[in-house]
């Protein structure tokens, strides 16, 4: 056994001579008290991640989520980075097609007094923040209408004399 390690189940579970363990399928740990803390260490033996028996997880590096992250409790962060959203002015006048985005950029065109932002992420209870990023000529863009699961309308009290650019952010 000391010469080449241990092979269980025809290569499905391997323990190498240096102590590395390779499991070629799923690993399930069951039973009360059988799991205290899972620790992941890098090549320098520094702890880079851990998960304890209460479900608390710590990561030294980035946590990347490819689909959906749901947080039932509180989120505490030193900063939150948000990638640029591919919401673009549509070929339909006064419309921004944002798909399922919750943040984006847009503008109300010269001579116009509103733009619709089409996104399925807006709800009747959404908080929508509008931040102008260009001169507004004294006009204030505001959320005039929300159509749940469809869109929201950013409006001015009178037509813009120049393009008014803004960022928008939906918080649910």
DSSP calls for 84-128: PP--EE-SSTTEEEEET-SEEEEEEPTT--EEEEEETT--TT-EE
Residues ≥6 apart with Cβ < 8 Å to 76: none
Q: What pTM was estimated for this model as a whole?
A: 0.55
In the chain, DSSP finds a helix count (H) and a strand count (E) of 0, 14
pLDDT computed for residue 89 by the predictor: 54
pLDDT, block means (10 residues), the chain with 172 residues? 70 77 72 65 83 85 75 72 51 83 89 93 94 96 96 96 94 90
pLDDT at 101: 84
CA atoms within 13 A on the CB side of 55: 1
Task: Round to whole Å and give the CA distance between 87 and 55.
Answer: 36
- Over its C-alpha atoms, the chain yields an Rg (Å, rounded) of 26
Phi, psi of 55 (to 5 degrees): 95, 5
Q: How far apart are CA 52 and CA 58, in angstroms?
A: 9
């Amino acid at each position: 056994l000391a010469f080449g390690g241990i092979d269980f189940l025809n290569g499905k579970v391997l323990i190498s001579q240096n102590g590395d363990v390779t499991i070629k399928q799923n690993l399930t740990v069951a039973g009360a008290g059988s799991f205290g803390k899972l620790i992941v260490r890098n090549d320098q033996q520094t702890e880079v991640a851990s998960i304890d028996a209460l479900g608390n997880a710590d990561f030294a590096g980035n946590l990347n989520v490819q689909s959906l992250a749901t947080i039932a409790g509180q989120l505490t962060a030193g900063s939150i980075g948000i990638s640029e959203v591919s919401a673009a002015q549509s070929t339909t006048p006064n419309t921004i097609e944002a798909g399922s985005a919750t943040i984006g950029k847009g503008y109300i065109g010269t001579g116009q007094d509103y733009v619709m932002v089409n996104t399925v992420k807006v709800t009747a209870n959404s908080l929508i923040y509008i931040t102008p990023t260009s001169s507004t000529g004294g006009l204030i863009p505001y959320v005039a209408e929300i159509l749940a699961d469809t869109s929201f309308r950013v409006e001015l009290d009178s037509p813009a004399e120049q393009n008014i650019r803004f960022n928008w952010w939906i918080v649910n």
